[in-house]
């Protein structure tokens, strides 16, 4: 066991909490089966079968994410039906591999002579990356290396095609993903050539002359008409990765790339690459991230836009983009144990990711807006991505299986360990079994988190064992208290970069009590964030709240929250159980507005009771308006 922190596998984390345990149950019992059915019906699960029509360049990635989700699900709990299904699907991939190792249903079925001719647009390396992740997940969770062997052969073949060596193509993917996947393959197999290939893709990206121009010419297409430095920022290939300082282009591509960069930096110790990752991270979290941990403000290109541009109704905030930010955050956290990374990871998980799926696990948001006005969505904006309610499926089906694999593996974000440290990032009732040194420690966690910030952790090492327990002190908490066996710790002495370091020889039964008082916070945005100026968002613990029309009536924008209005948190049975926030706001009285659109300001305001619910839970009741940011008076 080396000295770098490594995530504790999901299979070593059990959930008995009010948030993830029911979601994982629904994911296992409902979502996985529904997605199987939809993937099957659309032909994706049998894409190599000549009878299946309409094979699309994304299909392998959708199936791969479902295989990956199935692997985690089975790792947590056996399920013969699911096992049978996933084994069948995996067998098809294993059998379909070309003699040279190539494996891609679209190119093998539809365009066998076009392999590697359009890396920019065709998602070929992206699909390979997802299949690698699936293979690693399957192998790690079950020990079955059937798919892993197939993907190692594929990776070897890819390594024979791409690179700086003589006769190799100096290409890199249009949609990053394979970088982080190759690092996972390296970690699962110990084969350094996969890390080298990941590093090659990271380092080659964005060099001039652009490979995308070269391959376009080779195809007989025109190269990009855009000028150097702007061309290809959609896919983060406008500059060499180390010289990129702002998060640009398609948000999912961006964060998958940055996660891969951080992985490569962690494995190679490349400080320049680490520094590039930090700059990109800072640009996102200090300029370009929604309060929900969502990223990518605009539908046009599913892109990052400019600093401080975070439209609410117009938000794109793709579910996959919030998931990709979780990946990037987790990688940064393992580059350097700093609570600010975990804060963002937690925010995205409890808000921008969790909003992506309905409580019953059957419907999904592709775009996660921060304000919704249904009358408009029906008329001005069209298309599946823009409905004011969750959808059962999407033609471009990336989000549903991405959520499924994240929920099925959320345990791997809870804790990490190394030879001499165990770090707890997320607090969730249940048990974490972490390898540490040559043994293991069990951490039994009792808490009602995220609805309550009182946490009791009983430490159970396999035998008395010295190591440092690193406990995250959430950035949202103003007055944290840490007690060890009843003794209050002096945080100025033990806390560094958002983690409390408790170093001792741990005995079975050692008790840590964490008190992170959850008050209702009114959050303001940076003065340059024009779309939220004059507004506050309500946050309690890691959970961001919103107003829904079914609780507060229509015209939510007219609600004002006086600066000193009392806000109370109440445990409620609503929405399968959650904490709601109640308070008194005001609304304009509506008299005298007949046939008037504008008038000299003279409205009076009257008090109204308001109720806010967790943002991630909105649209689980009646369809209607929703707003995260509330005007403050």
Complex with a copy of itself: residue 111 or 529, whichever CB lies closer: 529
566 lines the binding site for a copy of itself (CB under 8 A): no
The pair of structure tokens assigned to 328 is: 């990037």
Q: Please state whether beta strands 465-472 and 481-484 pair in parallel, antiparallel, or not at all (unpaired).
A: unpaired
Q: At what angle do helices 146-161 and 80-96 cross, to 10 degrees?
A: 30
Q: Residues 96, 444, 550, 557: which binds a copy of itself (CB under 8 A)?
A: 557
Peptide bond into 209 cis (omega under 30): yes
| Closest separation in Å from C-beta 53 to a copy of itself | 23
E strand intervals along 105-225: none
> In angstroms, rounded to a whole number, what is the distance separating the alpha carbons of residues 16 and 37?
29
Give the angle subtended at the CA of 328 by the CAs of 327 and 330, to the nearest 5°: 65
560 lines the binding site for a copy of itself (CB under 8 A): yes
Q: Please state whether beta strands 499-506 and 510-515 pair in parallel, antiparallel, or not at all (unpaired).
A: unpaired
| Closest separation in Å from C-beta 348 to a copy of itself | 13
Q: 206-240 burial, b for 16+ CB within 10 Å, e for fewer?
A: beeebbbbebbeeeeeeebeeeeeebbbbbbbbbe
Provide CB contacts within 8 A for 505, sequence distance 6+. 464, 465, 466
Q: Please state whether beta strands 629-632 and 560-561 pair in parallel, antiparallel, or not at all (unpaired).
A: parallel
Complex with a copy of itself: residue 53 or 602, whichever CB lies closer: 602
| Closest separation in Å from C-beta 444 to a copy of itself | 32
Complex with a copy of itself: residue 303 or 334, whichever CB lies closer: 303
Q: Residues 555, 570, 584, 622: which binds a copy of itself (CB under 8 A)?
A: 555
Question: Which residues are 496's β-sheet partners?
Answer: 499
Is residue 546 classed as helix, strand or coil in its secondary structure?
A: strand
The 3-class SS string of 17-85 reads CCCHHHHHHHHHHHHHHHHHHHHHHCCHHHCCCCCCCCCCCCHHHHHHHHHHHHHHHHHHCCCHHHHHH
The dihedral through the CA atoms of 230, 236, 237, 239 has a sign that is positive
User: Please, which of residues 279-308 interact with a copy of itself by CB under 8 A?
Assistant: 282, 285-287, 289, 291, 297-298, 300, 303, 305-307
Query: H or E element: which one contains 401?
Result: helix 399-408
| Closest separation in Å from C-beta 424 to a copy of itself | 24
Give the angle subtended at the CA of 555 by the CAs of 552 and 560, to the nearest 5°: 70
Is residue 543 classed as helix, strand or coil in its secondary structure?
A: strand
| Closest separation in Å from C-beta 570 to a copy of itself | 21
Complex with a copy of itself: residue 382 or 507, whichever CB lies closer: 382
Query: Which region among 17-25, 210-218, 458-466, 589-597 touches a copy of itself (by CB under 8 A)?
Result: 589-597
Question: Which residues are 602's β-sheet partners?
Answer: none
* Count of C-beta atoms within a 10 Å radius of residue 78: 10
Is residue 131 classed as helix, strand or coil in its secondary structure?
A: helix
534 lines the binding site for a copy of itself (CB under 8 A): yes
238 lines the binding site for a copy of itself (CB under 8 A): no
487 lines the binding site for a copy of itself (CB under 8 A): no
| Closest separation in Å from C-beta 330 to a copy of itself | 20
| Closest separation in Å from C-beta 433 to a copy of itself | 35
Query: Which region among 123-131, 449-457, 496-504, 558-566 touches a copy of itself (by CB under 8 A)?
Result: 558-566
| Closest separation in Å from C-beta 615 to a copy of itself | 14
How many residues bind to a copy of itself according to rule CB under 8 A?
61
Q: Residues 94, 419, 529, 575: which binds a copy of itself (CB under 8 A)?
A: 529
343 lines the binding site for a copy of itself (CB under 8 A): no
> In angstroms, rounded to a whole number, what is the distance separating the alpha carbons of residues 127 and 133?
10
| Closest separation in Å from C-beta 437 to a copy of itself | 36
Residues 371-400, one symbol each (x = binds a copy of itself by CB under 8 A, - = not), give --x-xx-xxxx-------------------
Residue with tokens 């989700």: 69
Residues 598-627, one symbol each (x = binds a copy of itself by CB under 8 A, - = not), give xxxxxx------------------------
558 lines the binding site for a copy of itself (CB under 8 A): yes
Complex with a copy of itself: residue 511 or 589, whichever CB lies closer: 589
Residue with tokens 């089906």: 397
Complex with a copy of itself: residue 289 or 323, whichever CB lies closer: 289
DSSP symbol at 289: B
DSSP symbol at 471: E
Catalytic residues: 302, 398
536 lines the binding site for a copy of itself (CB under 8 A): yes
Provide CB contacts within 8 A for 389, sequence distance 6+. 363, 374, 619, 623
Burial of 422 (0-12, 13-18, 19+ CB in 10 A): buried
590 lines the binding site for a copy of itself (CB under 8 A): yes
Query: Which region among 88-96, 102-110, 272-280, 590-598 touches a copy of itself (by CB under 8 A)?
Result: 590-598
Residues 452-481, one symbol each (x = binds a copy of itself by CB under 8 A, - = not), give --------------------------x---
Query: Which region among 29-37, 88-96, 112-120, 369-377 touches a copy of itself (by CB under 8 A)?
Result: 369-377
Complex with a copy of itself: residue 164 or 596, whichever CB lies closer: 596
| Closest separation in Å from C-beta 501 to a copy of itself | 24
133 lines the binding site for a copy of itself (CB under 8 A): no
Binding residues (CB under 8 A) for a copy of itself: these are 282, 285-287, 289, 291, 297-298, 300, 303, 305-307, 309, 314, 373, 375-376, 378-381, 478, 521-531, 533-534, 536-537, 554-558, 560, 563, 587-588, 590, 593, 595-603, 631-633
């Amino acid at each position: 066991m080396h000295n770098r922190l490594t995530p504790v596998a999901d299979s070593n984390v059990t959930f008995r909490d009010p948030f993830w345990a029911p979601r994982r149950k629904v994911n296992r019992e409902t979502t996985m089966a529904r997605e199987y059915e939809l993937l099957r019906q659309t032909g994706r699960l049998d894409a190599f079968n000549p009878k299946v029509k309409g094979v699309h360049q994304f299909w392998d990635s959708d199936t791969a994410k479902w295989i990956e989700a199935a692997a985690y699900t089975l790792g947590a709990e056996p399920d013969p039906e699911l096992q049978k299904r996933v084994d069948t699907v995996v067998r098809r991939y294993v059998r379909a591999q070309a003699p040279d190792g190539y494996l891609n249903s679209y190119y093998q079925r539809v365009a066998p002579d076009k392999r590697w001719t359009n890396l920019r647009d065709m998602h070929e390396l992206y699909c390979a990356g997802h299949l690698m992740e699936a293979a690693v997940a399957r192998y790690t969770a079950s020990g079955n290396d059937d798919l892993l062997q197939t993907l190692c052969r594929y990776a070897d073949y890819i390594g024979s095609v791409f690179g700086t060596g003589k006769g190799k193509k100096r290409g890199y993917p249009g949609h990053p993903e394979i970088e982080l996947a190759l690092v996972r393959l390296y970690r699962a197999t110990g084969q350094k050539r996969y890390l080298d290939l990941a590093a090659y893709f990271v380092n080659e990206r964005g060099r001039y002359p652009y490979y995308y121009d070269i391959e376009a010419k080779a195809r007989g297409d025109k190269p990009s008409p855009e000028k150097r430095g702007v061309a290809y920022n959609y896919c983060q290939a406008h500059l060499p990765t180390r010289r990129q300082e702002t998060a640009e282009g398609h948000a999912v591509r961006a964060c998958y790339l940055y996660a891969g960069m951080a992985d490569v930096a962690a494995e190679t110790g490349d400080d320049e690459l680490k520094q590039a990752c930090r700059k990109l991270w800072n640009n996102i979290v200090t300029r370009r991230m929604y309060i929900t941990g969502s990223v990518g403000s605009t539908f046009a290109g599913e892109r990052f836009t400019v600093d401080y541009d975070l439209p609410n109704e117009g938000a794109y905030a793709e579910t996959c983009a919030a998931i990709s930010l979780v990946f990037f955050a987790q990688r940064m956290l393992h580059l350097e144990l700093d609570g600010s990374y975990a804060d963002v990871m937690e925010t995205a998980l409890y808000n921008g990711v969790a909003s992506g799926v309905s409580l019953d696990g059957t419907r999904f948001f592709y775009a996660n807006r921060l304000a919704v006005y249904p009358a408009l969505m029906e008329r001005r904006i069209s298309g599946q991505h823009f409905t004011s309610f969750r959808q059962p499926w999407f033609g471009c089906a990336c989000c549903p299986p991405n959520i499924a694999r994240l929920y099925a593996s959320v345990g791997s974000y809870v804790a990490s360990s190394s030879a001499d440290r165990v770090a707890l990032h997320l607090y969730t009732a249940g048990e974490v079994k972490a390898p540490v040194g040559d043994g293991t420690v069990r951490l039994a966690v009792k808490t009602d988190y995220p609805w309550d910030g009182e946490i009791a952790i009983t430490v159970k090492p396999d035998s008395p064992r010295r190591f440092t327990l690193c406990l995250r002190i959430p950035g949202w908490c103003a007055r944290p208290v840490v007690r060890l066996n009843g003794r209050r710790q002096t945080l100025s002495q033990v806390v560094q970069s958002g983690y409390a370091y408790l170093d001792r020889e741990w005995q079975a039964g050692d008790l840590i009590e964490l008190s992170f008082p959850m008050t209702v916070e009114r959050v303001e945005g940076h003065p340059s964030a024009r779309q939220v100026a004059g507004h506050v968002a309500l946050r309690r613990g890691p959970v961001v709240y919103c107003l829904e029309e079914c609780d507060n009536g229509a015209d939510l924008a007219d609600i004002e929250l006086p600066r000193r209005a009392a806000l109370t948190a109440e445990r409620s049975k609503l929405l399968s159980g959650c904490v709601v926030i109640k308070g008194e706001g005001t609304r304009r009285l509506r008299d005298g507005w007949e046939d008037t659109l504008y008038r000299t300001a003279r409205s009076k305001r009257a008090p109204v009771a308001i109720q806010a619910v967790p943002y991630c839970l909105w649209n689980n009741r009646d369809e209607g308006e929703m707003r995260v940011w509330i005007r403050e008076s």
